[in-house]
Amino acid sequence: MRTRTKNAAITLLALAFVLAAWLPAPAEDPVPAAGQAQSVEARNLRKEIVKLKYVRAQDIQNLLYAYVSRDGHIQFNPNMPSVLSVSDTPENVEKILAAIREIDVKPADVLFTVQLLLGTAGETDQGTKPVSENDPIIRELRNLLKYKTYSLLDATMVRTVNLENSEVQFGPKAEFQLELRPEVTGDAKMPVIKSGVRLRQIKRMPDSYASSGKPFEPQITTLVESTLNIKSGERTVVGVSKLDGGDKGLILIISAKIVE
C-alpha cells in the first residue's frame, strides 16, 4: 500500500515538472534599457524657434544656458542673428521663453540737447549769439569762471539708442565733433543716464592752402572727454576747454531725457 502511494506521488511530481516546462512564464513589467529611456525622453522634448526683436542671439545665448538641461540645447545661425532654436523639456522651454521676454525688450531712446558756448574775457565775438543772463547755468558759470561774456557758438540735438554710439558734427563751420554713448540705469521711475562724452575739434585745410597742392592732414584735438551722469530731464555743464591761452573758453552744456 505504501509503495503504491509513493509511486503516485512521484508521478504527480513528474507531471508538474513537465507542465512547468511547457507553460509560458507569468508576464512581468518591462524594464526599458538605458538607451530606450533616453529615446523616450528625447521624444518628449519641446522644440521652439524664437524670433528676437531687439537683441542678438549670440548676446543672450550664454545667459539662457542656466535654464537648459543635459538633453536640451540652444542654437543659432550666424547668418540669422535674430533667430534662436530652443529644444528642451516643456518645463525648461517655458523658463527659457520667460527669460527671453524679460531680455528682448525695446532699448530706451535718449534725446540729448547740446549747447556749445564761448566764454571770452572781452566783448562777445562776432558771429555768435549772446545767451540770456537769466539762465541759471550762466549765473553759475559767472561764479566759477572769470569770463566776461558768454555767447552761443552752436546748438544741436542728438537722438540715440541706449548702449549705442552716436556722433554728430556741429559748430559754425562744422569744426566740432561730438561722440555720445548712453547707458540707462536705475528703475523705470528714476532712470539715470550715464554717457561717455567726447568733444573734438577738427582743423581742416584752409582755403589758402588748397591751391598749393601740398598734402594736408586734418588736425584733431580732444577738447572735452568725460562721463555724464544725470537724471532724465536734467541739464548740466559737462566740461570747459581753454582756447587762445586762456582768454577764451569753450563750455559744453548737455541735457538728456528718455523719450518713447
Same domain, residue pair 98 and 124:
no
Residue 232 domain-assigned (yes or no): yes
- CATH number of residue 83's parent domain: 3.30.1370.120
Asked if residue 120 and residue 46 are part of one domain, the reply reads no
Q: What is the pLDDT of residue 212?
A: 63
Query: What does the pLDDT read at residue 189?
Result: 84
At residue 69, the pLDDT reads: 94
The count of domains in the chain is: 2
Q: Residue 185 and residue 256: Cα distance in Å, rounded?
A: 13
Output the pTM of the full model.
0.69
Q: Are 178 and 168 in contact (CB under 8 A)?
A: yes
For residues 107 and 44, give the distance between their C-alpha atoms in angstroms, rounded to a whole number: 36
- Whether residue 124 sits in one domain with residue 248: yes
Q: Which of 252, 43, 229 has its CA nearest to residue 137?
A: 252
The residue from 103, 123, 156 where one domain ends is 103
Residue 5 lies in a domain: no
Point out the domain boundary residue: 48, 77, 103: 103
> So what's the pLDDT on residue 243?
82
Same structural domain, 127 and 87: no
High-pLDDT (> 70) share of the chain, %:
77
Domain identity same for 120 and 91:
no
Residue 207 pLDDT grade (very low, low, confident, very high; cuts 50, 70, 90)? low
pLDDT score at 237: 96
| Domain span holding position 77 | 34-103
Are residue 248 and residue 130 in the same domain, yes or no? yes
pLDDT tens digits for range 142-154: 999 989 999 999 9
Q: Do 181 and 60 belong together in one domain?
A: no
* Average pLDDT score over residue span 109-119: 96
The predicted-structure confidence for 17-71, as pLDDT tens digits, reads as follows 444 544 555 555 555 555 555 554 556 899 999 999 999 999 999 999 999 999 9
pLDDT tens per residue across span 130-182: 898 899 999 999 999 989 999 999 999 999 999 899 999 999 989 999 999 99
* In a shared domain, residues 118 and 240: yes
Query: In this structure, how many other beta carbons lie within 10 angstroms of the beta carbon of residue 47?
Result: 11
Q: Are residues 52 and 94 in the same domain?
A: yes
Q: What's the pLDDT at 181?
A: 96
68 with 39, same domain: the answer is yes
Going by pLDDT thresholds of 50, 70 and 90, the confidence category of residue 218 is confident
Order the strands of the 248-259 sheet from edge to edge.
129-130, 149-161, 109-120, 248-259, 235-243
Residue 166 and residue 64 share a domain: no
Q: What percentage of the chain carries pLDDT values higher than 90?
A: 63
